[in-house]
Structure 1
Amino acid sequence: MSDQETIVQIMPATDWVAVYNMDGEESAEPIVCFALVETVENGVKRRDVRPMCANENVIDFADDAENFLRVETLEAFEEGEGEEEEEEEEEAVEE
């Protein structure tokens, strides 16, 4: 647990998504910004860039969610979905 967290800077995040595990399926939510966060833990300072997503009227850190998997570009996520569908079609044809 950190003693203190401070957002130092916020940068817009265009075409980036946070990928979550939703009941075994991957789901993506748009990232609204990246935050440069300074954390002081046991007297030691550390800086990290963290993704933030909007959830209704709240903007929160995406990586705090238990089902958070990763951050990637929207394009890469959409390409990955197409590859999974192609693999499933190939498996169905082979059977």
Structure 2
Amino acid sequence: MSKSTNILQILPANGWVAVYDESGEESAATLVCFALTETLDNGNKQQHVRPMCADGKHIVFADDAANFLRVEELAEFEDEDEEEDDVEA
């Protein structure tokens, strides 16, 4: 039996980003929304909240990317970036 995922609900993601590893450096992409999903795998149902972002003309699950690290509030990500700049100076 195959695994299928359905989106049950879309939730706003204002102020949240997906953080990716880009050749050892962290980069962030703005999230479009969070999706409450339900996956049916061999008769077992599981629900998860998953981040979604824009990829060209499509909206995709951010956590499907091989270089996905985490979801973080934009303000927190920017604060970390500023702290790294201070250390380098």
% identical aligned pairs: 57
Q: Secondary structure at the match of 2:33?
A: strand
Give the corresponding residue for 1:46: 46
C-alpha separation in 1, matches of 2:74 and 2:88: 22
1:41 maps to amino acid: D
Gaps of 5+ in 1: 90-95
Alignment of 1:16-55 (within 5 A): 16-55=16-55
Q: State the TM-score, normalizing by the size of structure 2.
A: 0.94
Q: State the Cα deviation string for residues 16-55 of structure 1 (Å, max 9, x = none).
A: 0000001110000000000000011121110000000001
CA RMSD of aligned residues (A): 0.9
Q: What secondary structure sits across from 1:84 in the alignment?
A: helix
- Cα deviation, residue 12, structure 1: 1.4
TM-score (norm 1): 0.89
Aligned pairs, how many?
Answer: 88
